[in-house]
Amino acid sequence: MLSSAHLVPTSVRLVPSWICSSSRSFMDLKALLSSLNDFASLSFAESWDNVGLLVEPSPPHTVNTLFLTNDLTEQVMEEALQKKADLILSYHPPIFRAMKHVTWKTWKERLVIRALENRVAIYSPHTAYDAAPQGVNNWLAKGLGTCTTRPIHPSTAPNYPTEGAHRLEFSVNHTQDLNKVMSAVKGIGDVSVTSFAARCDDEEQTRVSLNCTQTALMQVLAFLSQNRQLYQKTEILSLEKPLLLDTGMGRLCTLDQSVSLATMIERIKEHLKLSHLRLALGVGKTLESPVKIVALCAGSGGSILQGVEADLYLTGEMSHHDVLDAASKGINVILCEHSNTERGFLSDLQQMLGVHLENKINIILSETDRDPLHVV
């Protein structure tokens, strides 16, 4: 005979997912920064930008929770502290212009103070993520429909393909002359030298090739100008840094099939989760006009989109006069407000970084971060 059992009701407290990090391990800040750079190199960023580690607690600093936000406001900082963030990845750099003091007077200074007091590091990738192949602009292009994309302004590699930015080649006829030349140029810093046999006008020669910096080039030319009898047939080439595949600012997107402007508007609204956006019709265009080519740039795209031939410009904001100029050329313009063209990328970023970092740390999204402008 089975004995009866009484079921006693128990209460279950749901713990927010951002607290459940027992299965996660820690990462040293420096190791994490190295991994973030592997994900999207800071060398992709524009020269004017302020990217990378902006606030660093005294080392060693370990990270269990990485907090993602588009803009780091005081409200977002409060949320990050409540959620025990160790590193805040703020897409926009909260520190851009130089700070002459760090006091409680301004909100950006207060961000720095609160971060340091609570041992929270702050990192910003900004335009590095704009240019990256898997970055913000590629995410924005996903909302257009099936299309092929390429950067409007391609990025170049951070380094030249060989040592130095210049190549100098010349020929030497005699072995004794070659020895003198090689000894001299090898004594100049920042020069790499190779030589190979060549034949010119039925005469055996040695062709000397040097890769060198601008400064070294001047020194080599000074030596050669004083020893004109040693060489002939000189060529100077300026080397170019190679373009990086699928990397750069803005995207020029060619749709597999044209759609009406009205259809494209609905696609963009759905992708960005917006009920409203701003539209400037190009001269002679209507909502039924076809759209085949879209030039886009997340954030503020005026300088990137200027002069690009397309049926539609898509960005967060442009100046009044840039909009007028585009419209006069028959180009439609859609403006969605600055950060509305960026923020949605963070959900994709959360997933990509989870894979890239092998789920070693907890990665959470801000719930209070939002565009400061609202339609009322």
Tell me the domains of the chain and their CATH numbers: 27-128 (3.40.1390.30), 132-154+246-339 (3.40.1390.30), 166-238 (3.30.70.120)
Known binding residue 342? Answer is yes
Residue 372 has pLDDT above 70, yes or no: yes
Residue 13 has pLDDT above 80, yes or no: no
pLDDT for position 151: 97
- Indicate the pLDDT class of residue 230, thresholds 50, 70 and 90: low
pLDDT for position 15: 43
CA 163 from centroid of its chain's CA atoms:
25
Q: What is the CA radius of gyration of the chain?
A: 29
Known binding residue 374? Answer is no
Known binding residue 338? Answer is yes
Cβ 262 vs Cβ 272: under 8 Å: no
Q: What is the tens place of the pLDDT at every residue in 288-314?
A: 999 999 999 999 999 999 999 999 999
Question: How many angstroms separate the CA atoms of 9 and 47, rounded?
Answer: 62
Question: How many angstroms separate the CA atoms of 304 and 22, rounded?
Answer: 45
Summarize the confidence of residues 142-159 as an average pLDDT.
94
Which candidate, 48, 210, 177, 55, places its Cα nearest to that of 124? 55
Structure token digits, residue 269: 């609204």
pLDDT above 70: percentage of residues in the chain: 91
Q: What is the tens place of the pLDDT at every residue in 46-61?
A: 999 999 999 999 999 9
Q: Which residue has the tokens 């100046």?
A: 319
Q: What is the tens place of the pLDDT at every residue in 330-355?
A: 999 999 999 999 999 999 999 999 99
Residue 238 has pLDDT above 70, yes or no: yes
Range of weakest confidence among 11-20, 28-37, 82-91, 147-156: 11-20
pLDDT for position 208: 87
- Indicate the pLDDT class of residue 9, thresholds 50, 70 and 90: very low
Known binding residue 203? Answer is no
SS3 label, residue 275: coil
Residue 33 has pLDDT above 60, yes or no: yes
